[in-house]
Structure 1
Amino acid sequence: MWQPGTGIRLSDRPLIVSDVDEVVLEFLTPFMAFLEARDHALLPRSFRLSGNIVDRVSGEAVSDAAAEALLDAFYAAQDRWQTPAMQVVETLKGFSGEADIVFLTAMPPRHAAARRRLLDALDLPYPLLASEEPKGPLVKRLHQARDLPLAFVDDILRNLHSVREHAPGCLLINLMANAEFRALAPAPGVDIRVAADWPEAAELIRVHCRARPDAC
């Protein structure tokens, strides 16, 4: 079934929707290395990029515009820096025969083709949506009113909250690859499950699907 406005075809199976940066692909660790190569640094002072990217020569935080330019340059060169999160390839391959998997990445669509090539090269061939829109309406548009299990995995709470609002009954999983910044993250809330890695997320998804004996 083609899902309106997405260009993605789903089957009559459970749906797993996952963020990409810091969930499927390492983001913060390679971004810090990218910044170091350009005489900048990302300091783990709070759970945000803005205000924490500094010029290593002056020690001053860069402007928001400069931070956006650095992030854009990183995305343009992502294939030379980003690597898969631990055990994501094996975990998603294990689900691929029994669930639909869609990547929903919050990045400028102009970088989607580069991301698609990188994901394919890493044996992560699942459909990709690149959008800067709120994720809740996008997940709702994908899943529609199907009576099938739905799981959403993301590192950012506002995205999880957005999906909670628009897709009630969805399993919400907070997963973040970088442990240093994960320790700075706010508490997710009682209705959001926290997974340390993909094997733990997989078990949460399987428990969620067991409510339907024919799923997962």
Structure 2
Amino acid sequence: MMQIPDPIPPLPAPVAEQIAGLTIASGQPLIIVDADEVLFYFMRGLETFLAGQGLYFDWASYALYGNIRQRQDDQPLAAELLHPLLQRFFDEATESLEPVDGAAAALESLSARGRVLVLSNVPLSAREARLRALRRHGMDFPLIANSGPKGPAVAELIARAAAPAVFIDDIPHNHASVAKLAPAVHRLHFIADPRLAALLGPAADCHHRAETWPDLRDLIAGLLEAT
């Protein structure tokens, strides 16, 4: 039985404006890809940043809250301090994050088969830094700085494209959001840092979990070949 998508909630105004500014050709397949832990090694950069703040990541679970601890007494960072800390991290470190092995080459190859769009929950204040990092590392693709679950943005993008689409993300709740609002999109789960990947099984709402960008490239090429 065909899955009927849930009603699409309104997009946040900044996200709607960014999508409206894109040129999307009707009928061109979309490859919608996350950035942190998909195109860039988020956790490597975060660990370096935390060390400079007298903090460390505990690696007890996939969550940030509870795993960011103070080095002096091993106590977890207070919940109210987490968001300001992450905002500073994005503002200061976004441009310097290392690119994930094989991502640029895979996307360059795939860009001949579909339109590559980067859909990242990077804060708007760090959007330009992320664009510069993408260009510097050979991934000069349009960037949408999203906020919240990604289903609404993906649903809007595929409505404009009227074409098959593939979604790549590391966060399970983003796969769940896309599954509800854009169920026809093929969802691929990928976590670049092997330490982080070991803490989490395949997302419940993904179609496939991949371990490397060459694996993703071959999967996506096969999916688009079949459509």
Q: Which residue of structure 1 aligns with residue 23 of structure 2?
A: 9
Q: Which residue of structure 1 aligns with residue 121 of structure 2?
A: 106
**Which aligned segments of 4 or more residues in structure 1 are displaced greater than 4 angstroms?**
none
Contact 1:78 1:115 in 2 (8 A): no
Tell me how large the CA RMSD over aligned residues is. 1.7
CA distance in 1, matches of 2:95, 2:186: 33
Per-residue CA distance 1:153-184 (angstroms, 9 max, x = gap): 00001001111111122110000011111111
Q: Which residue of structure 2 aligns with residue 127 of structure 1?
A: 142
CA shift, 1:211, in A, is: 2.1
CA shift, 1:191, in A, is: 4.6
CA distance in 2, matches of 1:162, 1:194: 17
CA shift, 1:66, in A, is: 1.9
Contact 2:175 2:205 in 1 (8 A): no
CA distance in 2, matches of 1:95, 1:156: 22
CA shift, 1:186, in A, is: 4.2
CA distance in 1, matches of 2:120, 2:95: 18
Contact 2:150 2:177 in 1 (8 A): yes
Quick check: which one's helix share is greater?
2
Identical-residue share of aligned pairs (%):
27
Per-residue CA distance 1:105-124 (angstroms, 9 max, x = gap): 11221221121122112221
How many matched pairs? 209
CA distance in 1, matches of 2:126, 2:212: 26
CA shift, 1:97, in A, is: 2.2
Distance 1:174-1:86 versus aligned 2 partners, 3 A rule: same
CA distance in 1, matches of 2:202, 2:107: 26
Length-normalised TM-score, structure 1:
0.90
Length-normalised TM-score, structure 2:
0.86
Q: Is the counterpart of residue 164 in structure 1 residue 217 in structure 2? A: no
- Corresponding letter in the other structure for 2:43: L
CA shift, 1:33, in A, is: 1.6
Distance 1:48-1:167 versus aligned 2 partners, 3 A rule: same
CA shift, 1:147, in A, is: 4.4
CA shift, 1:146, in A, is: 4.4
Bigger drift between 183-192 and 202-211 goes to 183-192
Contact 1:31 1:81 in 2 (8 A): no
In structure 2, stretches of 5+ residues that fail to align are 1-15
In structure 1, stretches of 5+ residues that fail to align are none
Contact 2:90 2:123 in 1 (8 A): no
Per-residue CA distance 1:38-72 (angstroms, 9 max, x = gap): 22101100110001101101211111222222211
CA distance in 1, matches of 2:181, 2:122: 21
CA distance in 1, matches of 2:205, 2:116: 25
